[in-house]
Amino acid sequence: MEEMGWASGVTRVAVLTGAGISTDSGLPDYRGPQGTWTRNPSLAGAFTEREFLASADMRRQFWREFNALHRADAEPNAAHRALAELDRTGIAIRVLTQNVDGLHQRAGSPDRKVLELHGSFANVDCRQCEQRGTTADALAKVAAGEDDPRCTCGGILKPSIVMFGEQLDSDVLNKARVIAAASQLFLAIGTSLQVEPAASLCALAVGGGANLVIVNNAPTPYDDMAVEVIREPIGTAVPRICRSIAAAR
């Protein structure tokens, strides 16, 4: 890889991560050749709020597939760890993640420095009484034979994630926009940049004067805005980028 001139003097970094950063941890992406939607297009319906809430069959399909979509034994990989290590160097880094797997935090990135734009698979919310519970408890019900797990009040349990057809939490999105606009370097890692409004954070960062660097194995709609597009595997590219930023402080 050529010398990363855009890394020089950077003290404020915003990082937008998508499913591609977690594939080395054994979690599938969504739109790649072996992605969740590519292999099983019908499963997208189970991630659509209206269909999930309206159809018991969709909910059953969701819970049947859950363990394959979100492996409990998945561990942070080199890219997650490199971002956490960069934070420990004193660089002001904020992670804006489209992922719901919690791997950034498990790698050592502080909770307060990770914005989960699309929520988290760790919890479920009752759509009737609004009580929040754990996904582990919901999965225990599935394992016990309850294929459409319900709250103790009888309400539908929905994973605490932003499904298709739902709006992002406005407070979380506004925080992400502030972080993007204030960054000097905006890294987009492992994301197709096809899902809005998260993808538009790239344009917001560039409009504020940041350099945009995209690390992804396929073209994105924002490649033309980037000072560099890196096709190198994420597991090697991200640690190298982080080392360059730390060394060029």
Which residues are identified as catalytic? 118
Instruction: Map the chain to HEC letters.
Output: CCCCHHHCCCCEEEEEECHHHHHHHCCCCCCCCCCHHHHCHHHHHHHEHHHHHHCHHHHHHHHHHHHHHCCCCCCCCHHHHHHHHHHHCCCEEEEEECCCCCHHHHHCCCHHHEEECCEEEEEEEECCCCCEEEHHHHHHHHHCCCCCCECCCCCEEEEEECCECCCCCHHHHHHHHHHHHHCCEEEEECCCCCCCCCCCHHHHHHHCCCEEEEECCCCCCCHHHCCEEECCCHHHHHHHHHHHHHHCC
The tokens of 28 are what?
Answer: 């599938």
Alpha-carbon dihedral 232, 26, 162, 239, rounded to 10 degrees: -40
Between strands 157-161 and 119-126, the pairing is antiparallel
Q: CB atoms < 10 A from the CB of 230, how many? A: 21
| Dihedral sign of CA atoms 157, 159, 162, 168 in order | positive
